[in-house]
């Protein structure tokens, strides 16, 4: 099988070849038909995340090179282990990539994303920038009937991240927050977030971004009102128009400016969820936590159950596919470069 792999961090991907795996027990080999190229792949290629103050989070440990990226996978079952009875050769599935050890309390509690021994496809074990990928258990294969295959793969990261972050905007009783919530950062994930928020909250979301074109696009998708996250005056405008601030916001950018805006527009008792990974540093005076009674929570992709829930929302038409550009597997490296240089609108999906 052929792959486009990291052979050295910070360097272009190279084509590598390896033996086709033979599945054992509950393993499945998927012939990759579609694999989305995600912004987080750039951090993996670099080997670090930017922490602000000239610091970096090194993410090179525990991964042997060559390593194959790609966690937004759709494809066809071509080989199954002897204990697999839930799927058949020739069937097509979206692959849930956020796989844990299956044994720890996080995994048995349905939150494999928090597993300390993660085997995330394309992050900690070889992923879908390849002709084939080995999936450790057939239970991670999700039915996407009625959904465009290229989009079904992409849903496993961007759409899932959006849904899981928005679902964390609940009160102490687990009830979804009332009134308009705020979505900050209108990249691909934020835009899907606008659609999901329309489907799961009682009021269309407010949105904020530094880019006027993105604000216009979000308004066209049905956002309630749009604000400039770089404008202090717009913090006041949000607080005024909502009668004291929003009950919750999600930061899909994860940068200093977006988080400062997103938390400044909270009302007392409000909550912000951070899902973006652009990077930087956030400071807040400690007394503000009790005095404003605000909460801050991180959100990392989403659970297997949430992935199923998302596919159901897509099937119902609540979430529309983003523009998708299909490219050959050999264009993986060029696609990462284009993404890095901001040249991609929507999603590039590789078609190995």
Handedness of CA 257, 283, 59, 272 (dihedral sign): negative
Cβ closer to Zn ion: 84 or 107?
A: 107
Least Cβ distance, residue 111 to Zn ion (angstroms): 9
Q: Does 32 bind Zn ion (CB under 5 A)?
A: no
The 10 Å Cβ neighbour count of residue 138 is 20
- Please identify, among the stretches 153-161, 232-240, 242-250, 261-269, the one whose residues bind Zn ion according to the rule CB under 5 A: 153-161
For residue 120, give the nearest of 297, 302, 298, 273 by alpha carbon: 302
- Please identify, among the stretches 109-117, 163-171, 179-187, 215-223, the one whose residues bind Zn ion according to the rule CB under 5 A: 109-117
Question: Count of residues binding Zn ion (CB under 5 A)?
Answer: 8
Q: Does 303 bind Zn ion (CB under 5 A)?
A: no
Interface with Zn ion (CB under 5 A), residue from 42, 59, 78, 104? 104
Least Cβ distance, residue 117 to Zn ion (angstroms): 5
The CA distance from 79 to 12, in Å, is: 31
Cβ-in-10-Å burial (0-12, 13-18, 19+) of 15 comes to middle
Q: Does 100 bind Zn ion (CB under 5 A)?
A: yes
Least Cβ distance, residue 340 to Zn ion (angstroms): 15
- Please identify, among the stretches 56-64, 150-158, 166-174, 327-335, the one whose residues bind Zn ion according to the rule CB under 5 A: 150-158
Cβ closer to Zn ion: 273 or 294?
A: 273
The 10 Å Cβ neighbour count of residue 57 is 12
Cβ closer to Zn ion: 273 or 275?
A: 275
CA dihedral 324, 334, 51, 71 (to 10 degrees): 50
Cβ closer to Zn ion: 35 or 115?
A: 115
Least Cβ distance, residue 88 to Zn ion (angstroms): 28
Q: What are the distances in angstroms from CA 140 to CA 93, 97, 107, 162, 175?
A: 9, 7, 13, 20, 29
Q: Does 66 bind Zn ion (CB under 5 A)?
A: no
List of E strands, 18-104: 28-36, 48-52, 55-58, 67-68, 72-80, 92-95
CA dihedral 328, 334, 337, 339 (to 10 degrees): -30
Cβ closer to Zn ion: 159 or 180?
A: 159
Give one DSSP letter per residue of 208-237, joined into a string: EES-HHHHHHHHHTT-SEEEETT-HHHHHH
Cβ closer to Zn ion: 33 or 215?
A: 33
Q: Which residues contact 166 (CB under 8 A, 6 or more apart)?
A: 181, 193, 196, 197, 200, 201, 250, 273
Question: 93 - beta bridge partners?
Answer: 75
Q: Does 101 bind Zn ion (CB under 5 A)?
A: yes
Least Cβ distance, residue 106 to Zn ion (angstroms): 5
Cβ closer to Zn ion: 144 or 261?
A: 144
Q: Does 115 bind Zn ion (CB under 5 A)?
A: yes
Q: Does 239 bind Zn ion (CB under 5 A)?
A: no
The CA distance from 107 to 256, in Å, is: 32
Cβ closer to Zn ion: 71 or 267?
A: 71
Cβ closer to Zn ion: 156 or 259?
A: 156
Interface with Zn ion (CB under 5 A), residue from 13, 37, 38, 265? 38
The CA distance from 29 to 89, in Å, is: 9
Q: Does 94 bind Zn ion (CB under 5 A)?
A: no
Q: Does 40 bind Zn ion (CB under 5 A)?
A: yes
Contact set with Zn ion (CB under 5 A): 38, 40, 100-101, 104, 107, 115, 157
């Amino acid at each position: 099988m052929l792959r486009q792999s990291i052979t050295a961090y910070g360097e272009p991907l190279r084509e590598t070849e390896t033996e086709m795996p033979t599945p054992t027990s509950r393993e499945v080999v998927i012939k990759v038909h579609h694999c989305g190229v995600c912004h987080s792949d750039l951090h993996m290629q670099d080997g670090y995340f930017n922490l602000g103050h000239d610091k970096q989070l090194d993410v090179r440990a525990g991964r042997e090179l060559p390593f194959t990226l790609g966690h937004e996978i759709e494809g066809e079952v071509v080989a199954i282990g002897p204990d697999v009875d839930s799927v058949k050769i020739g069937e097509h599935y979206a692959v849930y990539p956020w796989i844990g050890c299956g044994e720890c309390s996080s995994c048995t509690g349905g939150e494999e994303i928090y597993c300390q021994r993660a085997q995330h496809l394309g992050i900690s074990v070889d992923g879908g920038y390849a002709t084939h990928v080995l999936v450790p258990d057939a239970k991670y294969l999700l039915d996407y009937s009625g959904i465009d295959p290229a989009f079904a793969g992409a849903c496993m990261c961007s759409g899932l991240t959006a849904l899981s972050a928005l679902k964390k905007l609940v009160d102490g009783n687990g009830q979804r927050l009332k009134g308009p919530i705020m979505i900050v950062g209108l990249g691909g994930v934020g835009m899907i977030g606008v659609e999901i928020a329309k489907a799961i909250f009682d009021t269309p979301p407010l949105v904020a971004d530094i880019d006027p074109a993105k604000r216009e696009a979000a308004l066209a998708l049905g956002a309630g009102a749009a604000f400039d996250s770089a404008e202090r005056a717009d913090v006041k405008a949000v607080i005024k128009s909502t009668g004291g601030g929003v009950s919750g916001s999600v930061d899909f950018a994860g940068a200093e400016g977006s988080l400062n805006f997103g938390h400044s527009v909270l009302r007392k008792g409000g909550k912000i969820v951070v899902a973006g990974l652009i990077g930087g540093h956030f400071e807040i005076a400690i007394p503000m936590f009790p005095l404003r009674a605000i909460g801050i929570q991180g959100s990392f992709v989403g659970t297997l159950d949430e992935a199923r829930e998302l596919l159901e929302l897509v099937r119902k038409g609540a979430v529309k596919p983003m523009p998708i550009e299909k490219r050959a597997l050999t264009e993986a490296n060029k696609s990462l470069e284009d993404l890095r240089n901001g040249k991609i609108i929507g999603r590039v999906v590789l078609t190995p």
